[in-house]
Structure 1
Amino acid sequence: MKYSSIILITICLVSNSSYGQTCNCEQNFSWVKKTFEENDAGYQDIIALKGKQAYTTHTDSFIQKIKGAKTTTACASLMNEWIHFFRKGHIGVFPADDQDDNDTNAHWEKTNINLQDFKNHLYAEKTPGYEGIWDLNNDTIGIIKEKNQYTGFIIKSGNISWKQNEVKLKFTKSTDGDRLLFYTGNRSTEEYKNVELIGNNYLQAGGYVLKRVFPEFKKDDKGIEAYYKRMTAKQPYAELLNDKTVYFRIPSFNPKYKKSIDSVILKCKSKILTTETLIIDLLDNGGGVDESYQELLPILYTNPLRNIAVARRSSKLNNQALLDGYNNPEYGFSAEDKKWAKQAYDKLESQLGKFVNLGDSTIYIEKRDSVYPYPKNVGILINEHNGSTAEQFLLDAKQSKKVKLFGRMTFGALDMSNLNFAKSPSNCIVLVYAMSRSFRIPEMPVDDIGIQPDYYLDKTIPLFKWVEYVNEILNTK
């Protein structure tokens, strides 16, 4: 286990009796600002780069807005915008999942649409378009065009906090590009730049794929149906595409999926090691922990692997988060792992206020005894929604002579890692920040840049044909 570079997500509850249980936005902002400054691993770098005065000016521009915030959701949204002064990934401010923000819900934007009238309108549609009734996970959503904007509204939701006709998404299409606003379960906003119809019955909306429920159009071909299966899979799986290619879908490296990933590898390893080509599909894989992909590395190995360590910012909050994370039964860490965590905690506590390398080197070279003859070619599918551990896997994997990356530039959220999700004293707000900094910095940054593919898949190659395209490239003699 590469303990020095593990990207571990931890949750820490901060208690402080000086705050009440009401969600006062000014008080919560003061806590967020102070906690971020005292604990985030990237804070000092950005202050040095942009300057203290720029930070002060930026903060001052938000003070009056924060004073005027009327709901927890509005408050969190403003703070989330404020904090992205520092970087675009591995950072954020959100309402707590258990926060009952009745005022936000009561004033949430709604459509005034009669469902039967909407269906009658859709009956008249003869050509597949964005308008329709769509299935998205546990939600049924209607999408209607209003002037130059498409609005998605709830028809039925598996989330009891969402009510009929409440707006779930909005998007515009133009020659200047797409713009999609998507509201998550806790009503936080996600913004994307791609909305695309796939065939007659599927809609790629940012990081989500919707399936048309109504009206009915001609069934899509098997390639599109296969794409929908891949992109909505919750669990990893592998299948034989043909006699030359094994396809391995990994939707997430979240620690809760580690056992499933290992199980698929164990079950399919003999087939993988006797098949010429392996395609690993990481599309929309946002990360998790390094441990989730360790069993893949021996299959890809051709030469010694160089791993760059991280330094952790030592603080009381960060050090406790490390210890709590390894003791979280959901992650399934072993007794040996927990012993290492306690030793790491003690080392960090002895150097408060410093950046600490928990290993004995900044670079680790990993050598293996075996290089498997198969697979000969490995293609990894990537896109703009890959970040964090997914990007660390790519940095490891692309050191192999077998591996090529296909797709589009990744998100760029890796240099500052080991996330802590700290809940405010009022229990209203969750602050997400990074506790460690890579020794790659400043020579090889990934944050806000991303990792480039070896083969760029442009927009003339439909999303549902990416696997077919990669399979053809890798198996062409």
Structure 2
Amino acid sequence: MFTVLVLITLSLRAQDCTCAETFEQVVQVYENDYALFNIKVNEANRKLYAANKEVFKKKAGNVSEIKECLPVLKQWLQFFRDGHNNISFIGSSAIIENRKSIAIDKSTFLKEINRIRKKKQNKKNDLLGIWKYGAYEVGIMPKKDAPQSEFIGVILNSKNNVWKPGDVKFELRQIYGNDYEVVYYMDDNSEKKLKAKFQNPENLEFVDYNTWVKVWPSNPNTTINSQETELYSDFHVRMIDGKIPYIRFPNFYEKEPAFVDSLLRSHHQELVNADFFIVDVRDNNGGNDVVYKPLFPYILSGPIQTPNYGLWISKGNIDIFLDGRKPEELDDESKEEYDYLSSLEGSLFWPDGDEYASTSIPDTLFAPHQKVAVLMNEKTISSGETFVYRTRQSEKVILYGQNTAGIIDGFNVLTKTINCFELRYPSSVRARDVAENPIDPYGMAPDVYVDKNVDVLKFAIEHMSLLIDKK
């Protein structure tokens, strides 16, 4: 692999910026550097793209406050229907300094909630307490000096270093009954407007986004359900009904491959002796492909093919690959690579040659006649999708659920700063035939479609058991 291809952030920050100027620069980045631009914009829709760009150019020209430019940029970007594209407002000062925060830690929060719950109007309010989702543990409490229908969720613990205890992760306003309007704060401090449903005392669903699980105070009548839903947000291996191994991957970034390998080895006999086991990648929001590879000996039935990818060569991308170095500062070998890549500007470079795909042959295969149920849904994205793409080639695997998200035709995301905004875009394409056989934006279909309102885990167990009994 080329030693100069180091994917890091290129900072081009300017202190003063207008929406009109920023729009022009952002368009130039995506037209020149986005790997899928010439696939997404072709002869069939080029006039549509040009008209769409003109509409948003006028919108950008009418924006006076630079922070209000973000919705315009995001709406323009939706033309590409690519979940790996993103624009966020970063302003001219540090994000952390601008974040809403209160002086509170977990110990103080517990004391405060116990005091609040003693009041008559709050005794039966199950919303108050500690909630968890993925890397975050949040305390929900009434918003100070606000109506009784308004609440805030403050960070108590976070595995994401961008967030510190006391930071406000979201604000809730009760509309009626168990329905809420939400302002949800992202890593870049931008606001995401959502709806929320307080489904039951243990589940708070941010509609079409994520679901939080209550961890304190627990309801003694629903402890088992609470424990089950809390497990859903963490990687783990457990036995269902004492005989069916269940492996949960909420993402592929919180755990190291060595940890996954160690846990699988500790359950080795249970995995290989079972008639079938389950791998759950619903709501998996990606990460690093190497995290799931320790599972391959258990899940594959033989060789699998991975399409060779293409790297889009542009001056902007080459500048990022150089890691801030000037061409004249490169050693002879790197300078030769730089000159070669520069000669390919405006085209896709295929590092692994002209073959469509490369074949991976597993060193070890366990229980080749076993079956594996993979659970997936529309929130299975990025590396979650590549997991599905690779494992569906195994004769052991049956996919259950709904289509994946459909955002893997472009990957190797680069970050670039334009004025007060941070842009993210794929620099590589998944395969040579992406234009003819895309996965984006509809995703990959399951072998057995299961409506999202049906308990897919229960259904998969019943379905797989029936298949094995018939066999």
Tell me the TM-score range normalised by the shorter chain: 0.7 to 0.9
Letter in 2 for 1:168: E
Quote the residue 1:380 is aligned against: 374
Cα deviation, residue 320, structure 1: 5.0
Q: What CA deviation, in whole Å up to 9, does each residue of 1:311-343 have, x standing for no partner?
A: 111123324545759xxxxxxxxxxxxxx9999
2:79 to 74, 85, 99: 85
Question: Paired residue for 1:398, among 376, 392, 400?
Answer: 392
Question: Which whole-Å CA distance do the structure 1 matches of 2:172 and 2:337 have between them?
Answer: 44
> Residue 475 in 1 paired to residue 465 in 2?
yes
Q: CA deviation at 1:268?
A: 3.6
Structure 1 residue 432: Cα displacement: 0.9
Which deviates more, 415-424 or 19-28? 19-28
Q: Aligned partners of 2:189, 2:82: CA distance in 1, in Å?
A: 19
Task: Tell me which residue corresponds to 1:238.
Answer: 237
Normalised by the size of structure 2, how large is the TM-score?
0.75
Change (3 A) 1:356 1:255: farther
* Aligned with 1:14 (options 4, 11, 16): 11
Structure-2 change in CA distance of 1:160 and 1:369 (3 Å): closer
Distance 1:116 1:132, change over 3 A: closer
Which residue number in structure 2 is paired with residue 359 of structure 1? 352
Distance, in Å, in 1 between the alignment partners of 2:167 and 2:223 is 35
Alignment of 1:278-317 (within 5 A): 278-317=277-316
Counterpart CA distance in 1 for 2:82 and 2:320 is 22
Q: Quick one: distance in 1 between partners of 2:231 and 2:442?
A: 30
Deviates more, 1:25-34 or 1:278-287: 25-34
Q: What whole-Å deviation, never above 9, does each CA across 1:71-100 have from its counterpart, x for those lacking one?
A: 554323321221111114111101239844
1:168 and 2:171 matched:
yes
Whole-angstrom distance in 1 between the partners of 2:443 and 2:129: 35
Aligned to 2:131: 135
1:450 CA drift (Å)? 1.1
Residues 455, 200 of structure 1: CA spacing in aligned structure 2 closer, same or farther, 3 A cutoff? farther
Counterpart for residue 251 of structure 2: 252
Shift of 1:293: 2.5
Check 1:293–1:399 CA distance in 2 against 1; reply closer, same or farther (3 A cut).
same
Partners of 2:388 and 2:417 in 1: how far apart? 31
Could you tell me the TM-score, scaled by structure 1's length?
0.74
Q: 1:265: how far off?
A: 3.4
Aligned mates of 2:341, 2:149 — CA distance in 1: 50
Residue 439, structure 1, aligned to residue 432, structure 2:
yes
2:171 aligned partner, one-letter code: K
Matched, 1:58 2:28: no
Give the aligned residue type for 2:10. Answer: L
Give the match's secondary structure for 1:434: strand
Aligned CA distance change for structure 1 residues 362 and 323 (closer, same or farther; 3 Å): farther
Preserved contact between residue 171 and residue 178 of structure 1 (Cα < 8 Å) = yes
Cα 1:378–1:214 shift into 2, 3 Å: closer
Instruction: Letter of the 2:300 partner, please give it.
Output: Y
Report % sequence identity.
22
Moved more, 252-261 or 446-455: 252-261
**Post-superposition offset of 1:390:** 1.3
The residue matched to 2:49 in structure 1 has which SS?
A: helix
Residue pair 1:276, 1:374 contacting (<8 A) in 2 also: no
Higher RCO (C-alpha under 8 Å, 6+ residues apart): 1
Give the Cα separation in 2 of the matches to 1:410 and 1:179: 27
What's the offset of the Cα at 1:419?
A: 1.0
Cα pair 2:153 2:170 within 8 Å, conserved:
no
Tell me the amino acid that sits aligned with residue 467 of structure 1.
L
Asked whether the equivalents of residues 423 and 430 of structure 1 are also in contact (C-alpha less than 8 Å), the reply is yes
The 3-state SS of whatever aligns with 1:372 is coil
Q: What SS does structure 2 have at the residue aligned with 1:85?
A: helix
Tell me how large the CA RMSD over aligned residues is: 4.2
Post-superposition shift, 1:446?
Answer: 1.1
Partner residue of 2:210? 208
Name the structure 2 match of 1:330. none
- Deviates further, 203-212 or 185-194: 185-194
Query: What amino acid maps onto 2:11 in structure 1?
Result: V
Give the residue type in structure 2 aligned to 1:200.
Answer: P
1:399 deviates by 0.8
Structure 2 letter corresponding to 1:473: H
3-state SS, counterpart of residue 14 of structure 1: strand
Note closer, same or farther for the CA distance 1:256–1:93 as it changes in structure 2 (3 Å cut): farther
Identify which range, 35-44 or 294-303, moves more after superposition.
294-303
1:134 Cα shift? 5.9
Q: Tell me the secondary structure at the aligned position of residue 388 of structure 2.
A: helix
SS at match of 2:8: strand
Check 1:80–1:69 CA distance in 2 against 1; reply closer, same or farther (3 A cut): same
Match of 1:154 in 2: 152
Equivalent-residue separation in structure 2 for 1:308 and 1:271 (angstroms): 33
